[in-house]
Amino acid sequence: MRLSQYPIPTLKEVPADAEVVSHQLMLRTGMIRRLAAGLYTWMPIGLRTLRKVERIIREEMDRAGALELSMPTVQPAELWRESGRWNEFGPELLRFKDRHDREFAYGPTHEEVITDIARRELRSYRQLPVNFYQIQTKFRDEIRPRFGVMRAREFLMKDAYSFHADETSLAAGYRLMFEAYGRIFTRLGLKFRAVDADSGSIGGTASQEFHVLADSGEDAIAFSDGDEYAANLELAAAIAPAAARGAPTQPLTKVATPGARTMADLCLFLGVEAARCVKTLIVDGVDGAVVAMVVRGDHELNALKAQKLPGVANPLRMASAERVREATGAEPGSLGPVGFPGRIYVDHAAACLADFVCGANEKDQHFTGVNWGRDLAVPEGLDIRNAVAGDPSPGGRGRLNIARGIEVGHIFQLGRKYSEAMGAAVLDEQGKNVTMYMGCYGIGVTRVVAAAIEQNHDANGIVWPEAIAPFQVVLVPLSYQKSAPLREATDALYRDFTAAGFDVLLDDRDARAGVKFADSELLGIPHRYVLGERGLAAGTIEYRHRRDSAAVQIPLGEAVRHVQGRSAA
């Protein structure tokens, strides 16, 4: 391809509305263009990368024995009523009516449609297990579309659905997909981790997410340095400390703490560490009640864990200042479990404290020297906080690390949630009707591209992993327009690279060398060859890998073999 023909703007300025690096770089390199909130056009150079990602996914899905099909994006409401999700799904589901006033949705996911296919097409256990997949456009009316294609409204997903006669087969099919995902993200050239995950609104039991590791990731993931444990932070278990609670040594004392509203204020004022204090958060209970959540001062309440507890509103809601005042007579900032009139849930780490500090449920007053068992009932310690770095691994060995990740894939063992609701059954060996077990497996194909850039860039632009670079090789002749011998040598090299199976970009623009160099770095093409008249006379060419700090001279005739060696490495 000739760069002169590509609409590559390579903007100098950072686009103002793009907050994350991948979004900025995708705009600056002309990979994508915004149409409206969360809607993007994939421009030619961007589509090259997207297609390469798709190809790797498709090859590995095929290799794992999955069958590709293609379902409509528009789905009738009746199917969603059958599964119960027409009401459950909320405003992310884009709903509309056709000319006959019939209701439809634009598919955000395809469990209903595939279950309908399965109940019509599958008759016997002999047809199982089977796994269907597609790579297709989804629409979710995200409340806050942002970061370009990272969280778009219209995006490309690979979604697969497997059907099984029993749970053992489901577990085996799930394992196959787990392994296929490992191969996919490895081939994409990305650093990634699989973590235990919450199954959210899709439903089901076991589920894992695949995260591309990047500091800008929206998710925090916890993983052990001593065993296999890895989980999304929202799910990661924060286990009870090994040490037993100490005996009381201090008397319960009420102290005035004027103006100390936050944990940091309080620690400064009293000269204590946050780990010697507890935080008390008042949340809405179910029947108009309020519930107290007590965690150590240096810990954070975990909403997902808290909202699963009996008597707690789900989704979790902080109680209004007014409700708090009604229940405790105090303001947020000086709340505590001593004398709290409602239900109290206490985290393991807070339950282990002795001689601790907490709010006194009186404005600007705290207690010091508080002890469970003496000043308060001995609590049953629960896991209601976020795990933190250094916590013991729930797997039994090692300690937890916390890293940031971008969720690019999610696999679920759905069980019979959809097949039961929609009556998808087959005849078993005895001729008995059995409801099928299902698994579902997604990859955010367009998000993978953005995540790859978040993980692989530097100050000069994108640093593509070889497998998904729009081009593997870029040829930069310094005077293509002016020197006929140079043009001929460049064209010959272009043909050689193409014949050897490489995707080559030829920068044939009549531009300054500096502009060409900057653009080739911005575009992130792995292998760059610079052809100049002097080098040509000496029979050499300058080579630099996008990750190298310096260029080397190599014999012109060696160029193709040289890249073959580098890209195999």
The contact set with ligand ATP (CB under 6 A) reads: 109, 140, 142, 151-152, 155, 157, 200, 202, 407-410, 442, 444, 446-447
Burial of 245 (0-12, 13-18, 19+ CB in 10 A): middle
Q: Closer CB to ligand ATP, residue 346 or residue 451?
A: 451
* Residue 552, token pair as written in the block: 């080397």
366 binds, among ligand ATP, Mg ion, none (CB under 5 to 8 A by kind): none
∠ at Cα 393 (409, 241), nearest 5°? 135
Q: Closer CB to ligand ATP, residue 57 or residue 525?
A: 57
140 binds, among ligand ATP, Mg ion, none (CB under 5 to 8 A by kind): ligand ATP
C-alpha span between 475 and 460 (Å, rounded): 18
Q: Rounded to the nearest 10 degrees, what angle do helices 484-499 and 559-568 cross at?
A: 40
155 binds, among ligand ATP, Mg ion, none (CB under 5 to 8 A by kind): ligand ATP
Backbone dihedral angles phi then psi of residue 439, each to the nearest 5 degrees: -125, 155
C-alpha span between 193 and 405 (Å, rounded): 8
434 binds, among Mg ion, ligand ATP, none (CB under 5 to 8 A by kind): none
Segment near Mg ion (CB under 5 A); pick from 108-116, 119-127, 406-414, 541-549: 406-414
In 109-233, alpha helices (H): 111-121, 167-187
What minimum distance in Å lies between the beta carbon of 501 and ligand ATP? 30
What minimum distance in Å lies between the beta carbon of 412 and ligand ATP? 8
347 binds, among ligand ATP, Mg ion, none (CB under 5 to 8 A by kind): none
45 binds, among Mg ion, ligand ATP, none (CB under 5 to 8 A by kind): none
* Residue 12, token pair as written in the block: 């100098």
C-alpha span between 543 and 529 (Å, rounded): 5
What minimum distance in Å lies between the beta carbon of 410 and Mg ion? 4
Q: Closer CB to ligand ATP, residue 350 or residue 408?
A: 408
What minimum distance in Å lies between the beta carbon of 424 and ligand ATP? 20
Please report, as residue ranges, which positions from 279 to 308 form the binding site for Mg ion (by CB under 5 A): none
C-alpha span between 37 and 182 (Å, rounded): 32
Strand partners, 224: 400
142 binds, among Mg ion, ligand ATP, none (CB under 5 to 8 A by kind): ligand ATP
What minimum distance in Å lies between the beta carbon of 64 and ligand ATP? 17
Segment near Mg ion (CB under 5 A); pick from 153-161, 335-343, 403-411, 469-477: 403-411
C-alpha span between 157 and 150 (Å, rounded): 12
**Cβ proximity of 313 and 283 under 8 Å:** yes
- CB neighbour burial string for 509-548, b if at least 16 within 10 angstroms, e if fewer: bebeeeebbbbbbbbbbbbbbbbbeebbeeebbbbbbbee
Q: Closer CB to ligand ATP, residue 370 or residue 406?
A: 406
Q: Closer CB to ligand ATP, residue 52 or residue 153?
A: 153
Q: Closer CB to Mg ion, residue 392 or residue 444?
A: 444
**Concatenated DSSP letters of 325-341:** HHHHSS-TTS--STT--
What minimum distance in Å lies between the beta carbon of 87 and ligand ATP? 18
417 binds, among Mg ion, ligand ATP, none (CB under 5 to 8 A by kind): none
What minimum distance in Å lies between the beta carbon of 406 and ligand ATP? 8
Q: What does each C-alpha distance from 124 to 246, 430, 439, 555 come to in angstroms?
A: 63, 11, 18, 64
**39-42: long-range pairs with CB below 8 Å, 24+:** 39/152, 39/153, 39/154, 40/148, 40/149, 40/152, 40/154, 42/446
From the list 267, 296, 260, 264, the residue with the least C-alpha distance to 281 is 296
Q: Closer CB to Mg ion, residue 145 or residue 392?
A: 145
Q: Which residue is nearest to Mg ion (CB)?
A: 410
C-alpha span between 200 and 315 (Å, rounded): 12
447 binds, among Mg ion, ligand ATP, none (CB under 5 to 8 A by kind): ligand ATP
What minimum distance in Å lies between the beta carbon of 85 and Mg ion? 16
C-alpha span between 504 and 27 (Å, rounded): 22
What minimum distance in Å lies between the beta carbon of 177 and ligand ATP? 13
Q: Closer CB to ligand ATP, residue 212 or residue 384?
A: 212
Q: Which residue is nearest to ligand ATP (CB)?
A: 444
What minimum distance in Å lies between the beta carbon of 178 and Mg ion? 15
**Cβ proximity of 178 and 206 under 8 Å:** no
423 binds, among Mg ion, ligand ATP, none (CB under 5 to 8 A by kind): none
Q: Closer CB to Mg ion, residue 114 or residue 406?
A: 406
Q: Closer CB to ligand ATP, residue 446 or residue 455?
A: 446
The identity of residue 528, as a single letter, is R
What minimum distance in Å lies between the beta carbon of 440 and Mg ion? 11
Q: What length does the chain have?
A: 569
What minimum distance in Å lies between the beta carbon of 535 and Mg ion? 51
Q: Closer CB to Mg ion, residue 52 or residue 410?
A: 410
**Concatenated DSSP letters of 176-203:** HHHHHHHHHHHHTT--EEEEE---GGG-
Cite the beta strand spans of 6-128 per DSSP E: 32-36, 39-42, 67-68, 74-76, 94-97, 103-106
**Cβ proximity of 79 and 113 under 8 Å:** yes
Residues 6+ apart with CB under 8 A from 76: 102, 103, 104
Segment near Mg ion (CB under 5 A); pick from 41-49, 128-136, 378-386, 402-410: 402-410
Q: Closer CB to ligand ATP, residue 197 or residue 350?
A: 197
Q: Indicate which single residue of 410, 447, 457, 516 sits in contact with Mg ion (rule: CB under 5 A).
A: 410
Q: Closer CB to ligand ATP, residue 210 or residue 372?
A: 210
369 binds, among ligand ATP, Mg ion, none (CB under 5 to 8 A by kind): none
What minimum distance in Å lies between the beta carbon of 507 and ligand ATP? 32
Which residues of the shown chain bind Mg ion in the complex (CB under 5 A)? 410
